[in-house]
Amino acid sequence: MSSRLRRAVGPRPMGIGSAPTERRSVLLAAASLGLSFALPALPARAARRRGLERPRSLLVVWLAGGPSQLETFDPHPGHAAGGPTQAIATVVPGVVIAADYPRLAEVLDRFALVRSLVSKEGDHERGQYAVKTGYRPDPTAIHPALGAIAAHQLPAPGLELPRFIALGGAEFPSRGGYLGNELDPYRVFAPGQKGQNLVPHVPADRQTRRLGALDSLTRSFEAGRGAAVRRTFHEHTLRDALTLMDSQQLAAFDLDGESEAVKARYGDSDFGRGCLVARRLVEAGVRSVEITLQGFDTHARNFAGHSAQARLLDPALAALVGDLEDRDLLDSTVVLVMGEFGRTPSINPLDGRDHWPHGFSCLLGGAGIATGQVIGSTDPDGVAKHPADPVEIPDLSATVLAALGIDFAREVATPVGRPMKLSAGTPLARLLCGEA
Amino acid sequence: MPLPRFGRFTLPRPTLPAVALVVLSLLVGAAASDPLAVRRRAQPPSPGTDRSSGGTLPTAATVAAIDRLLAERRSVAELEAAAAADELALLRRLWLALAATLPSLEEIRSFEADSAPGAIDRALAALLADRRTADALARRLAAALVGDEKGQFIVFRRDRFTTWLADQIAANRPWDGIVREMVAARGLWTDMPAVNFVTQAAADGVIDADKLAGRVSRVFLGARIDCAQCHDHPFAAWRQGEFEGLAACFAQARLSPVGIEDDPRRVHRIERGSVAAVATPVTGEGRNVPPRVPFGREWFGTGGTHRENLAAWVVHRDNRRFDRAIVNRMWGILFGRAWHEPIEDLPDPGPETNPDDLLDLLAADFRDHGRDLRRLITVITATEAFRLASTHPALDSDEGCDRVAAAWGAFPLSRLAPDQVIGAMVATTSLQTIPRDSHLLTRTIRFFRETDYLREYGQVVDSQGGALPATIPQALVQMNGKLAREMVEANAVTSTGRIAGMARDDVARLELAFLVALTRRPTSEERELLLPLLTRADTKGRGVEDVMWTLFNCPEFSWNH
């Protein structure tokens, strides 16, 4: 199963597969340096092929708080569970989504829509852990988030930016877990401004003096502890941080070069700016980007709350997918849109919906994903607790990793020597492209 | 971060210097003795002399036995011990490990002025009696006892629990008594904070007995019996049935309007793999699991609730795992590296106490002396291993590092936890000790800055207590972050400003900055290399800022040594 799937999703990322041809290596190098715009225009088939050869990236759009499937991608108007939410048709024949998402409706064919996710965790912290890592919380080990696995497994030659970047303030940040805290995401709390803490407090001459003195003190601490101090990686980390502070690639965080028209398409919000930055980061060769939209925990005023969220999510997500496609990046980027769980079919006395991990939705698109389809369904009347054709969270995580060309079943030793599989699930073959 | 609101108005967020100024003005009255002032100062004692009054202390026999054991270990490894640590290095270690902060300049001065033998032991005794130590130890232990999840109610309950635990530690209550109360307490989470050991496992009105059984076995016994929750343990003797029996000890516990209580009708029931505590009688498929402990069944209490009986078993004086687990954890807190890691997966104790097993030695002393945490700390910190330097000729090679680590031939380098880093940085802003009772400044800084700082700094400790290497975001926040700038800035209230303005010359400024940030004086070579920061600066203030920034960012600041 797994070898077939690996074949199905194309060659392994750069540096792992067979010896590339000269032309291919040039293209790969160009792509990895974030020069996708410099690549020659190709006909659609060739472009798709290039997408498959390019190192892949994972882009997670995290809808924090538990988005209601009924007010987003699985509306049931006219039914008991549906509430007042209306539906609109999409470019995928016969598939409707909530009327608050007119722009997403136009690009829904770039996604596969899963309406039958089931999780065992109905608490925010545990739920996000389960969905982001593919494992239930376990007090004896911290599992890495999918984003950390992608950053760990996918090569990023020439990249000076962090391999895993999280945009927007997530309450429960993703973790590198047993892969190491260097795989924790670099967090940017206010996307659109440069990342925080990147500018020294003092002018260049003082900074130079400070760094010179720091070097002396480091040498001094090494006296009699040489290898022990080197093992702390203190200096190494400091050097990487200083490289980042000076890197030209930081321009990826900066939106000044983007036209007003482009910014307007994403929407004038932190989230919209975050999605635009996310696109620029993927373009610069960052292997894993997570962008968080808070505010879906609507225990009260669910419908107004979700409409407000849609005004942020709909333009930004549609613009993001369109932009990735226009720049020939969508075929090398897996895009996952989801939250920690869904919300109850029943409506509570505060006009809200509560936590519901028994049948909720996600969008999955981009590299290696068989798009334009819907998997699973929920009961329009909210009577049946379990969805038809349920998809378990570990299987979703295996699918995402397989689409990235990662050996999802690979065992990695934790720092205490315990072997752990990157994913305990089985990829859903029908969600993956059959042929390159 | 929510700010206090009064009617329609939200309090403006005060700037730190403004707050500091107010607080400092309150402190000034008390600061009759300015630590900057030149006072009679004893010569710093040379390393190795008058280190302690160890030979006369009641802990001497245990300390000597541990020293012998470690000497044998080094001898087998053909490794010399490191030199004795400098007294100030010891003082720094004790402060970081116990109070999660640094000694102030005032405390360093007073320590150095104490020229009688046993100064370090007196410094330790003072620290043990200091509320900051109880608070910091409680934070450390609570992370293991109730986890570090972030949900809103969990945070409130954990705060109540941690404060209660700090009260118990401050009162030097025996560890077995503290643990008994955690496991068996009844009542509301607000007025019986110990019950929050149990409420940590409550979700949607249901108590997860498996989670509690796992916590009890890992934290109190250093055994991962919870591996057997799903399957028999791969290495140890734990069987699935044993875990189920342990979990069944929590089946009676339930949430009620009067808090956590025990309902004798409830049983632990397993149906098709899912677990539930239900009130009897029950019909249909499934089986009831009675409470059962995996070993030492004769220690299980009788006549009490299941939880009371379990608590009696956990703390039974023949249950050596209980003592071994806490002494290993405390060794880890004090050395930055536990004697055995992973900390919650200790090897099985042998049938009898083994005098060649360090955990057994310490555990026996702990058990035979009233399970007194202060005594345990006193014993561990009096060992030769704790008082060795962190330098060693063998540390020049990777192979040597492994040998030294295995034989405890030098004090290990360990990464400071975020609360220690922030505690150390806050401590360096003031030359005086910031008293716990009027710690408005520290509290204020913590309130407005710690959350932001920790958010950016992230985790440095993995779930098993091992230190993780620094990350790029951590290096960036330390170099360029807001807190770093505020701590370094030379103004009327920071130590940077006071050192710049009041010390007699640049040599004195450099020495004071080193004492404040690194708890030591610069070597002559360092003096030569760093003095240009002061002499070439536009102003004295900027010069001291540059020195302080350098000290904050050097590995010596963020690695205990």
Give the pLDDT confidence of A340-382 residue by residue, as tens digits.
999 999 998 889 999 999 999 999 999 989 999 999 999 999 8
Residue with tokens 């849109």: A337
**Beta-carbon separation of A181 and B559 below 8 A:** no
Question: How many angstroms separate the CA of residue A304 from the nearest CA in chain B?
Answer: 24
- The pLDDT, as a whole number, for residue A4 is 35
**Beta-carbon separation of A216 and B526 below 8 A:** yes
Residues of B in contact with A187 (CB under 8 A): 455-456, 473
Q: Is B6 within 8 Å of B12 (Cβ atoms)?
A: no
Using a CB–CB cutoff of 8 Å, tell me whether A7 touches chain B: no
C-alpha dihedral (B530, B532, B538, B540), degrees to nearest 10? 50
In the structure encoding, which two tokens stand for residue A188, read together? 């940017």
Nearest residue to A188 (alpha-carbon basis) of B476, B522, B79, B527:
B476
In the structure encoding, which two tokens stand for residue A417, read together? 């020597």
**Which residue stretches of chain B have pLDDT < 70?**
1-57, 150-153, 226-237, 272-284, 431-455, 457-469
User: Most A CBs within 10 Å: which of B390, B413, B476, as the mutation test of the A interface?
Assistant: B476
Using a CB–CB cutoff of 8 Å, tell me whether B526 touches chain A: yes
Strand B559-560 relative to strand B287-289, pairing = unpaired
Give the up-direction half-sphere exposure of residue B350: CA atoms within 13 A in the CB hemisphere.
10
- The pLDDT, as a whole number, for residue B232 is 55
Q: What percentage of chain B has pLDDT greater than the value 90?
A: 58
- The pLDDT, as a whole number, for residue B427 is 81
Residues of B in contact with A240 (CB under 8 A): 472, 475
What does the alpha-carbon distance between residue A119 and residue A362 come to, in Å, rounded to a whole number? 12
Q: Which of B147, B391, B526 sits opposite A225 (nearest CB)?
A: B391
Phi, psi of B33 (to 5 degrees): -100, 105
- Number of neighbours of residue A41 by Cβ within 10 angstroms: 7
- The pLDDT, as a whole number, for residue B277 is 63
**Beta-carbon separation of B462 and A218 below 8 A:** no
Q: Is B366 within 8 Å of B331 (Cβ atoms)?
A: no
Using a CB–CB cutoff of 8 Å, tell me whether A300 touches chain B: no
Question: How many angstroms separate the CA of residue A189 from the nearest CA in chain B?
Answer: 9
Question: How many angstroms separate the CA of residue A428 from the nearest CA in chain B?
Answer: 26
* Percentages (nearest 5) of helix, strand, coil residues in chain B: 55, 5, 40
Host H or E run for residue B247:
helix B240-248
Residues of A in contact with B549 (CB under 8 A): 201-202, 210
Read off the amino acid at residue A309. Answer: Q
- The pLDDT, as a whole number, for residue A140 is 76
Residues of A in contact with B532 (CB under 8 A): 209
Q: DSSP label at A292? A: E
DSSP bridge pairs for B144: none
* Percentages (nearest 5) of helix, strand, coil residues in chain A: 40, 15, 45
Phi, psi of A390 (to 5 degrees): -65, 145
Secondary structure, 3-state, B17-70: HHHHHHHHHHHHCCCCCCCCCCCCCCCCCCCCCCCCCHHHCCCHHHHHHHHHHH
**Which residue stretches of chain A have pLDDT < 50?**
1-43, 45-47, 49-51, 435-436
- The pLDDT, as a whole number, for residue B37 is 52
